[in-house]
Amino acid sequence: MDTLIANISEFFSYVVNQLSSMRVVDFVDIALVSVLFFYVFVFIRDRRAGKLAVGVLFLLLGVAVSELANMRAMSFILQNIVQVGMVALIVIFQPELRSMLEKMGGNSIKGISRLSESKDSAAKMELINEICEACQNLSESRTGALIAIEGVTKLGDEIRSGVIVNADVSRYIIGNIFFNKAPLHDGAMIIRDGRIHACGCFLPLSENHDIIKELGTRHRAAIGLSEVSDAFVIVVSEETGMISVARDGKLKRNFDKYSLREQLETFYELEDKKSKNPVKKIRDGIPKKKNTKGGRDSEG
């Protein structure tokens, strides 16, 4: 018993000595490494890298075992595989790595820009209202539509694939563009800085094999763009009239104009200003049509 107590006391003394000898830079180092591991975990969890990560771990375990067992031939082979494999991983996951870095840089820019930008809430609310009314009209007439609202990540490549319009956001203009016989109705509309910037744009299709088969090209394009940018992408199904929203590689379905407005207000960061607007309070107090469909998550 005395030996156990002595061992415990010695262990705690060792821990205290180690902590007392640590510098401030050591704590910063630990924090940075923790953040790095967190982003690596999120990267693996949200993408198709999960099974591959397990394979890499088994490969590293094999290297360690071969080193401990002094298996020279096996150790030589596995070490060379690891060296070549690191380069191969960068090539294989180039789109995902680019997306992650773009979002990290975009979020940093967004944090800085908040300090200097003053947003016009009335103009934003009018913009949101026009988009919601347009989507509701398109849904009722079962007219297919694909609308991408640009966030911090610029959509220059997608814009160059379409036609520059540079028009005010209006429910009537949106309805005319997506009219079945209109020349630009098949592509995506991109809204930048509160204006319809381009139409007829091509968006990258998602390569996620878990997307449910009933979703068409519009939905796959919406998910694909949301995987590589922070854009807010709205899809109106031509077959069912269902309104869906794609963000961060995930699709939510069954929206109406009320639930869509809530999502857009969150996107434009107006939720905190709603409580300060007396007109908004009165309007929110009026009973709305109950949205029984909500905006449930979809596998696609």
Edge-to-edge strands of the sheet including 232-236?
Answer: 163-168, 195-201, 188-192, 145-149, 232-236, 243-247, 250-255, 297-298
The pLDDT of 243-272, averaged and rounded, is 83
pLDDT at 17: 79
| Domains delineated in the chain | 2-114 (no CATH), 120-298 (3.40.1700.10)
**166-224 residue pLDDT tens:** 888 999 999 999 988 888 888 899 999 889 999 999 988 887 777 777 788 888 899 98
Specify which residues 192 forms β-bridges with: 195
**269-296 residue pLDDT tens:** 744 444 345 444 444 444 444 333 344 3
Question: pTM here?
Answer: 0.57
Q: Are 81 and 89 in contact (CB under 8 A)?
A: no
Q: Are 192 and 229 in contact (CB under 8 A)?
A: no
Report the C-alpha gap between 244 and 235 in whole angstroms. Answer: 5
Most distant CA atoms of the chain, gap in Å: 89
Task: Pick the more confident residue, 13 or 149.
Answer: 149
Looking up tokens 């609308």, which residue turns up?
A: 147
Looking up tokens 């607007």, which residue turns up?
A: 277
Picking from 151, 147, 132, the residue whose alpha carbon sits closest to that of residue 228 is: 151
